[in-house]
Amino acid sequence: MNEQEQLLQQLHDIELQPFTSLSFFSELALGWWLLAVLLILFLLLAWLWVRLRRNRRWYHEACDELEQIRAAVINDSTAITVSRCSALARRVALVANEREAIASVAGEPWLQELDRLCGKPLFTQGIGRMLLDMPYRKEPGAASGDLDDLFDSLKSLIESVRRQGRSVQIGAGRA
């Protein structure tokens, strides 16, 4: 026998294992399973983080706008200040409700809706009544303490809606 025949005789047939559907998964290394679980966990956490940032964005925009209104009180008339406060209250209410439910509400029902959102009678029985007619008076007059109380009422409204966990932008273009 020559050398080539000896080498051929050493060769054996390949024995194949019977294929089962779970054999592929059972042969995967534990590290790959761990990597897949970590990837899914990372994607879930990223999605939650994006939602949380969206939920907080309108809140920060509303607080910033309230601070701008408060800072501009020196230069703006009382009517303009109260009008800007009223517009901010409307946008905050739109965050908490559907546009159709809020857009057409005015007068006393509007103040009742703001009280409902606050959970306190800050608008129907408090300083928030200024929002009803102050912007339309010819000679609106309000003490600086009244405006400070109105700002505090708006801050309470913003905080209450934030606790309800709504996620919409409060941008100045909406009214």
Residue 93 lies in domain: 57-163
Within a domain: 134: yes
- pLDDT of 109 reads 84
Most confident stretch, 98-107, 111-120, 141-150: 111-120
- 156 within 8 A of 85, measured Cβ to Cβ: no
Tokens 């409902």, located at residue: 116
- pLDDT of 23 reads 54
Within a domain: 143: yes
Within a domain: 175: no
Q: Which tokens sit at 36?
A: 């897949």
Within a domain: 158: yes
Residue 119 Cα to chain centre, angstroms = 20
Within a domain: 8: no
pLDDT in tens, 143-161: 667 788 888 888 888 888 8
Helix, strand, coil in percent for the chain, rounding step 5: 70, 0, 30
Number of domains in the chain: 1
If we measure between CA atoms, which residue out of 160, 96, 99, 100 comes closest to residue 128?
160
Cut 0.85: pTM above it: no
Cα(3)–Cα(6) distance, rounded to whole angstroms? 5
Percent of the chain residues past pLDDT 90, beyond the cut = 6
Within a domain: 123: yes
Q: Let me know if 168 is exposed, middle or buried by CB neighbors in 10 A (0-12, 13-18, 19+).
A: middle
Within a domain: 51: no
pLDDT in tens, 57-96: 888 888 888 888 888 887 887 788 888 888 888 888 888 7
Q: Which residue has the higher pLDDT, 98 or 19?
A: 98
Within a domain: 29: no
pLDDT in tens, 7-44: 888 887 888 776 665 555 566 677 778 888 999 999 99
If we measure between CA atoms, which residue out of 161, 162, 134 comes closest to residue 149?
134
